[in-house]
Structure 1
Amino acid sequence: MTTTIRTTTRGHVALRAVSREYGLGDHVVTALDDVSVEFPPGTFTAIMGPSGSGKSTLMHCAAGLDRPDAGSVLIGDIDMTQLGEKELTKFRRRHIGFVFQAFNLVPSLTAAQNVALPLRLDGKRPEKSEVAVALDLVGLSDRAAHLPSELSGGQQQRVAIARALISNPSVLFADEPTGALDITSSRTVLQQLRRLVDKHRQTVVTVTHDPVVAACADRVLFLADGRVVDEFSSRTPAQRIAARMTEWEA
């Protein structure tokens, strides 16, 4: 089957002077402190940092799941910070794919039905060919009729990726996509993410603690205390990434 993903400049993500705080009074925590960063179309970026560094907040703001207190978040020429709640929900559903560490598949639905769910929630009737293309992109065409309980952890995560891709998102965000997987399954999921970038020019952004995951990315951003403090590029070896993380944790 021939598979395609349409690509446009919509895949360009830009955070401009983004800040985010939590708490009140004397208990305010600055999760993001005037962060400006871009994720170009057709690239794979990994976000790393110690616990509390702001990496999850950065991804949630970039994905429109959280609103910054200051700054702007753009996907293409759309500033999500200027959208109302209903507009933002619709925009996320149609332009942003999000993959959770825990898969979040509906147990009573088959792989194909889980993949089709975002389109149904958007009031559309998905074509079988659309679902087939999404499953083919992650190498699971032969598992369409299987329930999640009949799939391995790696296969379930790949169904979750297919579900995130069904709406042809401008960008795919993944929160610790291999965190709940064994080594073999992790390698397969990473290969699929890398293939989406290399073959289909999908923009992928992931938060991870795993240097092996980060080593598959085109770029690694390091956060500390709510700021981007370092950046590696050009497929940095996992050993070097691990060494940089160890420096913070020492």
Structure 2
Amino acid sequence: MCMADQILRVVSLSRSYGERETIVHALREVSFDIPQGAFIAVMGSSGSGKSTLLQCASGLDRPTSGSVLLAGADLTTLSELELTELRRMRIGFMFQDYNLLPALTVEQNVALPQRLAGYKPRGNDISRVLSWVGLESLRRRRPSEISGGQRQRVALARALASAPDVLFADEPTGALDSKSGREVLELLRWMVDQHGRTTVMVTHDPVAAAVSD
């Protein structure tokens, strides 16, 4: 594979917590490459470092050593401000607990990352991602007025609104029933197949992992 095909490159990544006799090594010298347009599932037992890996690879946490290159940019060398700006515009996030703001409507939640980055979201862009996840008719509702599965689809639309280089999903179906979870996985698979959206998903569920490449 040529370097141009690799959207995400993790090199000798290590993350430790604590000191001396209390030190915990969450990651030790982890290296891998992810090509553009891939759907990757990261699996492992509880405490194996899955979420730590995702947080370091996405720039939410800084590794103890090693490097993370996103489209050639080394996240580990960026300042906090540069890293924040990069995350807002080039990385999408989905979490198990949705992380939606209850006071905002569906539409406002989807547009929030772009507004925080100083951009005025275009209405057509928000409508497009809401139509992708089947929620355009619910754009004026608040999170408390929709189901858990619908909230996760709002989170997916929010993650996609800025057309990120990579979408990171941490247990995106963990809080959902089987039907809602299947719908979210089908949407993730569709985004990869139809729009080439590179996706890295942490999961403990082999059914969820089976949807990935």
TM-score interval, normalised by the smaller of the two chains = over 0.9
Residue aligned with 2:67, SS:
strand
Q: Give ranges in structure 2 of 5+ residues lacking alignment.
A: none
The percent identity for this pair of structures is 55
Aligned residue number for residue 201 of structure 1: 196
Kindly indicate whether the alpha-carbon contact (under 8 Å) linking 1:32 and 1:58 is maintained by their aligned counterparts in 2: yes
Counterpart code for 2:25: T
Deviations along 1:77-136, whole A, 9 cap, x unmatched? 100011011111111111101111101111121111110111111111111111111112
> Following superposition of structure 1 onto structure 2, how do residues 228-243 of structure 1 map, counting pairs within 5 Å?
none
TM-score for both structures, normalised by structure 1: 0.82
How many residues align? The count is 210
Match of 2:178 among 183, 193, 197: 183
Aligned residue number for residue 15 of structure 1: 10
Kindly indicate whether the alpha-carbon contact (under 8 Å) linking 1:111 and 1:145 is maintained by their aligned counterparts in 2: yes
Aligned residue number for residue 102 of structure 1: 97
Aligned residue number for residue 147 of structure 1: 142
Q: What is the alpha-carbon distance in structure 2 between the residues aligned to residue 111 and residue 214 of structure 1? A: 28
Kindly indicate whether the alpha-carbon contact (under 8 Å) linking 2:6 and 2:33 is maintained by their aligned counterparts in 1: no
Aligned residue number for residue 130 of structure 1: 125
Kindly indicate whether the alpha-carbon contact (under 8 Å) linking 1:19 and 1:71 is maintained by their aligned counterparts in 2: yes
Kindly indicate whether the alpha-carbon contact (under 8 Å) linking 2:133 and 2:187 is maintained by their aligned counterparts in 1: yes
Counterpart code for 2:130: L
Match of 2:46 among 47, 51, 58: 51
Aligned residue number for residue 165 of structure 1: 160
CA RMSD of aligned residues (A): 1.2
Kindly indicate whether the alpha-carbon contact (under 8 Å) linking 1:10 and 1:75 is maintained by their aligned counterparts in 2: no
Q: Give ranges in structure 1 of 5+ residues lacking alignment.
A: 1-8, 219-250
Deviations along 1:185-215, whole A, 9 cap, x unmatched? 0011011000000111000101111111001
Q: What is the alpha-carbon distance in structure 1 between the residues aligned to residue 199 and residue 190 of structure 2? A: 11
Residue aligned with 2:45, SS:
coil
Aligned residue number for residue 90 of structure 1: 85
